[in-house]
């Protein structure tokens, strides 16, 4: 229980410390957004994606699911998705955040998923990066996910 509370507080702290110089990337409907470091390049405005160098080095994608009620993952879904317990960083009514791919070598990417409640639905993002990109950068991108301000 304490570990869950600690991870929840850590996730909240990381989300609140997104650097001011990071770029905002909105999903194709302009409903949800993430922030990416200044050296990442957003793809054309309506895609909801940004890349680092190219899509094989690092990519972050934000989407919105209108009408999809947000809820934590059940134990059955966690098992179905193959989420390791030590890689499920948060599974609460505020956020789902986990690592869904673990790199096996330098050319194999790590991947993170996050979802949060949005306006009339759910906001989601997927961040895929090679191990040369710091894990904290990828996590900070995923934790920046939220509804876009009106």
Task: Give helix 2-16 / helix 135-143 axis angle, nearest 10°.
Answer: 80
Contact 107, 130 (CB under 8 A): yes
Tell me the CATH number at 142.
2.60.120
What's the mean pLDDT when you consider all of the chain? 88
Residues 95-104: what's their mean pLDDT?
Answer: 95
- Domains identified in the chain, total number: 1
- Asked if pLDDT for residue 63 goes beyond 70, the answer is yes
Q: Which residue segment(s) compose the domain that 72 sits in?
A: 2-147
> Which helix H or strand E contains 135, and what residues bound it?
helix 135-143
Q: Residue 145: what pLDDT?
A: 97
Q: Residue 17: what pLDDT?
A: 58
Distance CA 14, CA 139 (A): 8
């Amino acid at each position: 229980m304490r570990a869950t509370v600690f991870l929840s507080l850590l996730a909240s702290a990381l989300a609140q410390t997104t650097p001011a110089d990071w770029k905002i990337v909105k999903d194709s409907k302009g409903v949800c957004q993430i922030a990416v470091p200044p050296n990442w390049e957003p793809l054309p405005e309506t895609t909801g994606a940004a890349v680092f160098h190219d899509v094989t080095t690092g990519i972050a994608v934000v989407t919105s699911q209108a009408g999809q009620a947000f809820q934590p993952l059940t134990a059955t879904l966690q098992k179905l998705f193959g989420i390791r317990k030590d890689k499920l960083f948060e599974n609460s009514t505020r956020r789902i955040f986990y690592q869904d791919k673990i790199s096996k070598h330098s050319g194999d990417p790590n991947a993170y998923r996050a979802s949060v409640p949005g306006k009339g639905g759910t906001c989601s993002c997927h961040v895929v990066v090679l191990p040369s990109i710091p894990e904290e950068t990828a996590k900070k991108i995923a934790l920046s996910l939220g509804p876009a301000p009106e």
